[in-house]
């Protein structure tokens, strides 16, 4: 069910939510957090779908804030309330406000925050260079950016490194979790030779390459290189050089990875590119600072070299 509330206030929206809760039972009691999404008009529906999918594992109240398109005149706020089948396991409020209102997202959404529940803010399209200084980011326990969707992903990642504060994270980091597990398992197999160099290959400007290379270089204490190619499949190949022969994880099709190790038969495993909802679900599992991400972002990236290859 979608309830339209044109030219309204957030206090009125909050009262309508309370009325709906009284009519339908204490639905909001099971909400574990408030997810605030700072989006553009074009990103609203995609962000709501992703948040709805994530809400099945993390029931929450989703508040989407976007600028009111082509609005001139007095300050105005239009709202939608989505519940039931239109909201997954959450309740969704979409706020479209004129510029003076969206410039102060913290005060705008305050009446809609769940009491005594953590706040997570997510920017589906890139995000600010300093998330913790953003009005909404300053209120949140976790701040989720997505550098892969920004205009200059790698440049934004390095800007985030200079402004990092505990609680910041990026969905490009969640996208390498499965790779990290496979690589850790491969390195722990005999003959236990130290890794002398790391190479991560994949799509040009995809920031998951940089974060994975930064993590590997820091953990294995060896040089790490990102090789940017014309591929469309994010990370396509990781090579760990060792004296006894390289460990190679090859995923040319974005679906299946082949693991090659000296003296062992090749192994093939399913490793599809993670959906956006899967990355968001992983980030919502923890509300404490991700110290490893902070270490890789602020210290690991500085050691990564970049090479570009064209077909």
H-only helix segments in the chain: 10-24, 44-55, 99-102, 105-109, 153-163, 171-174, 177-187, 207-220, 276-284, 291-295
**How far is it, in rounded angstroms, from Cα 133 to Cα 138?**
6
pTM: 0.93
Residue 162 CA from chain centroid, whole number: 19
Per-residue pLDDT of the chain (311 residues; tens, 9 = 90+): 889 999 999 999 999 988 887 776 545 456 789 999 999 999 999 999 999 999 889 889 999 999 987 767 788 999 999 987 666 667 899 999 998 888 889 999 999 999 889 999 999 998 999 999 999 999 999 999 999 999 999 999 999 999 999 999 999 999 999 999 999 999 998 888 999 999 999 999 999 999 999 999 999 999 999 999 988 889 999 999 999 999 999 999 999 999 999 989 999 999 999 999 999 999 999 899 999 999 999 999 999 999 998 75
Q: Are 165 and 138 within 8 A, CB to CB?
A: no
């Amino acid at each position: 069910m979608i309830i339209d509330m044109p030219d309204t206030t957030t206090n009125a929206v909050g009262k309508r939510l309370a009325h709906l809760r009284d009519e339908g039972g204490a639905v909001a009691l099971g909400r574990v957090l408030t997810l605030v999404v700072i989006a553009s008009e074009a990103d609203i529906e995609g962000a709501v779908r992703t948040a709805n999918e994530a809400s099945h594992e993390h029931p929450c109240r989703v508040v989407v804030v976007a600028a009111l398109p082509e609005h001139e005149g007095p300050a105005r706020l239009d709202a939608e309330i989505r519940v039931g089948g239109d909201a997954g396991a959450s309740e969704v409020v979409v706020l479209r406000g004129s510029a003076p209102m969206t410039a102060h997202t913290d005060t705008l959404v305050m009446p809609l925050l769940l009491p005594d529940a953590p706040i997570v803010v997510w920017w589906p399209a890139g995000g600010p260079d300093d998330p913790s200084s953003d009005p909404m980011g300053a209120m949140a326990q976790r701040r989720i950016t997505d550098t892969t969707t920004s205009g200059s992903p790698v440049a934004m990642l390095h800007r985030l490194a200079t402004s990092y504060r505990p609680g910041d994270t990026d969905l490009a980091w969640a996208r390498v979790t499965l790779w990290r597990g496979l690589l850790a398992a491969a390195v722990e197999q005999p003959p236990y030779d130290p890794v002398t160099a790391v190479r991560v290959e994949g799509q040009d400007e995809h920031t998951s390459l940089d974060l994975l290379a930064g993590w590997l270089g820091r953990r294995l204490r060896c040089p790490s290189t990102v090789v940017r190619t014309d591929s469309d499949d994010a990370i396509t190949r990781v090579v760990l050089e060792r004296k006894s022969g390289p460990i190679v994880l090859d995923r040319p099709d974005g679906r299946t990875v082949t693991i090659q190790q000296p003296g062992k038969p090749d192994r093939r495993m399913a490793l599809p590119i993670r959906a956006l909802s899967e990355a968001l679900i992983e980030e919502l599992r923890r509300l404490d600072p991700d110290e490893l991400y902070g270490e890789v972002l602020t210290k690991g990236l500085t050691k990564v070299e970049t090479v570009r290859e064209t077909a």
